Amino acid sequence: MRETYQYSLDRAMTHPHDDNAALDKAARGCNTPAKTKKEETMTINRRDLALSTLAVSALALTTPVLAASSDEDAVAKKVEAFRLAQIAADPKALGALCWDDLSYSHSSGKVEDKATFITNATDGKSKFLSIEYKDPTIKVVGPAAIVRFHWLGEQEMAADGKKVSTNLHILMNWQKQGDEWKLLSRAATKL
């Protein structure tokens, strides 16, 4: 190998205008046009690579935030639809918002499945005059959403017209399958 290099060096000195001479000068650290051009190209490529890496990293960090934000918005819409369906005592709307395996727990400790909940919520024995979900929080964790809020409600009993106020803390668990969020469980605590 040394002999080959020596041969090229000797040849470059004896033939200064030979094409191989510029390569030998570049190999020895001389600033030839070929070497300068190569360094500029490498600098641009490294800069482009650094910027591309930075952009991809930034995108990777913001995409989950954007996804979570859109999921939180979707859950918030479902929670509001559920509130309106409760006030309207709409069995079809409530059924569409709940999983078949729903576990609906009242502040009294009574637990209902989906069919029982919908029947009791729409039987006409009472009518909601108002339901307010105050200070809601939504936390999306993968395909689940944890929703908490302060419930203030007022019902009127059909039998005697008596008005009953409720002041509760509510915990809802919503689950996503495909693009749909549905209520999986609900628990209430009296305040």
Which sequence spans correspond to the domains of the chain?
Answer: 70-190
User: How crowded is the C-beta side of 154, counted as CA atoms within 13 Å?
Assistant: 5
pTM of the model: 0.65
d(CA 165, CA 129): 10
Q: What is the DSSP letter of 109?
A: S
Looking at per-residue confidence, does 28 or 168 come out higher? 168
CATH class of 70-190: alpha beta
**Whole-number pLDDT of residue 27:** 53
**Whole-number pLDDT of residue 68:** 54
Pairing of strands 126-141, 111-112: unpaired
